[in-house]
Amino acid sequence: MTILLLVAWCLAMMFSARLICRNWVNHLTLYTAAWTVSLCAYELHWIRYNSIGTEAWIYIFAAWIAIYLGTAFASVLGSGQVSLWPDYYGRRLKTMIVFLSFAGLASCFVLARQVMDEVNSNLLVAVTVGAPRIYAAVFEETGTLVGIPYIAFLPFAASALAGAYTAVIRRLDWVSVFPLLVATIGGVLSASRWNILFAAVLFLLSLFLTPKSKPVRLSNSQKALLFVACLSGILLITLTRTDLANSLTEQSGSLDKISELIPVAPSLYFYFSGPPVGFGEYLRDSRRESSSSWGRYTFASFYRFLSKFGLSTRVPFHQEFYSTPEPINTCTYLRELHSDFGVPGIFVFPFALGFVAGRIAALPRGVVRVILLAHIYVIVLFSYTSLIMSTGQWFQSAIVSTCAALFLSRSSASASGVRTLRGVRASGS
């Protein structure tokens, strides 16, 4: 019964999103789809979870309504015009993508050396048999497997730019795939599926958001290349990192049967269905963590940066675990908001997120709009798991790719002005 109610709510909110944003694919439909899938997965009860709790349900739907209200308020202010990008954007994007990707590849070489020193001198053995050790070292923040600090995130920024580049040239070439391959290499070396998924999602969102005169058609070989660049790395890590494969003690008979055919099914189901339950357990815990600094998790990257100067503002990359009864530390973005700002944060942040997304979507459709909107869509799409903007990958990728987009827009505007001036002089002579 609850699943039917959730589906009915989903359909109503999808149509509302269509009315507000005037198209079917937007941040509101992504938010609704992600949360509906997560909550419906929980209601299947393939894991014998604790109940989410009334307070958590209220907060979930309050935030859901808030992001719609924020977007509706933004839509009243009007929208920009659609304009195609000039072809020379492709050449300039290509230079940026190649530079950022090679920098990220250099970090991968350093990371590979660190893995061989710490785990196994045979790199293939280290990233397969030693994957659990690599993940444990990264999770415990030992600082031994980091590659080149502040350089390792550059393939994410390059991936966002690569999506726009692919839309401009209307085909997939080696430059399009290069940052995805680098992100996959980095993900395999650090036993992190998130790194690969983040790069792939940024690429696809930018590809979709970039205005196109014709749809980008990919051949079967190009689709296979994208699969190899992204999903193969995720599959390899999933098969070699066994931290969840055999550890779910509360799964039902239905999930047991599915796992016989698909061994990683319990892990995938847990990642989709567990976060809302974790949020409920966070609210029940009288000893729950509270931020020592205002906006500690929301602005975690800023606080971590300040800690480099000796200030006691360091924020851990991984949060506390809660028993669902399966242990989980990704408890939706609402956990971070409640910890940072209390109950008002549950409504104010989603409202502000919807407003900002709505206003950026209304901007003239230039490269800056595409890059900013792609990163905001990532926050929305993964809001059912955690507050993605608190991760260093998101924050640094957003800063670098936006700066690159601003540089491209300014230089293109200057070049356009020069061409226009020359044209006026020529006509005058």
Res 322: pLDDT: 92
The dihedral formed by the CA atoms of 176, 182, 185 and 191, expressed in degrees to the nearest 10: -100
More confident residue, 416 or 104: 104
- DSSP of 243-295: TTTT--TTB-HHHHHHHHH-TTHHHHHHHHHHHHHHHHHHHH-TT----SSTT
Res 249: pLDDT: 77
Q: Is the pLDDT of residue 85 over 50?
A: yes
Average pLDDT in the 394-399 region?
94
Q: Is the pLDDT of residue 424 over 50?
A: no
Report pTM. Answer: 0.91
What's the chain's average pLDDT? Answer: 87
Res 428: pLDDT: 44
Res 276: pLDDT: 97
Are 201 and 378 within 8 A, CB to CB? yes
More confident residue, 206 or 248: 206
Let me know if 59 is exposed, middle or buried by CB neighbors in 10 A (0-12, 13-18, 19+): buried
pLDDT tens digits, one per residue of 47-74: 999 999 999 999 999 999 999 999 999 9
Residue with the two structure tokens 């920024």: 157
Res 413: pLDDT: 61
Q: How confident is the model at residue 421 (pLDDT cuts 50, 70, 90)?
A: very low
What whole-number distance in Å separates Cα of residue 253 and Cα of residue 230? 32
Average pLDDT in the 380-394 region?
93
Q: How confident is the model at residue 392 (pLDDT cuts 50, 70, 90)?
A: confident
Percentage of residues in the chain with pLDDT exceeding 70? 90
Res 412: pLDDT: 66
What whole-number distance in Å separates Cα of residue 358 and Cα of residue 309? 36
Instruction: List the beta bridge partners of residue 190.
Output: none
Average pLDDT in the 236-247 region?
69
| Range scoring the smallest mean pLDDT among 29-33, 77-81, 91-95, 173-177 | 77-81
Average pLDDT in the 372-389 region?
96
323: enclosing H helix or E strand: strand 322-323
Instruction: List the beta bridge partners of residue 323.
Output: 327
Res 429: pLDDT: 37
Q: How confident is the model at residue 37 (pLDDT cuts 50, 70, 90)?
A: very high
Residue with the two structure tokens 């290349």: 225
pLDDT tens digits, one per residue of 311-370: 888 888 888 899 999 899 999 999 999 999 999 999 999 999 999 999 999 887 788 999
Res 140: pLDDT: 75
Q: Is the pLDDT of residue 292 over 80?
A: no
| Range scoring the smallest mean pLDDT among 76-85, 108-117, 310-319, 411-420 | 411-420
Phi, psi of 214 (to 5 degrees): -140, 150
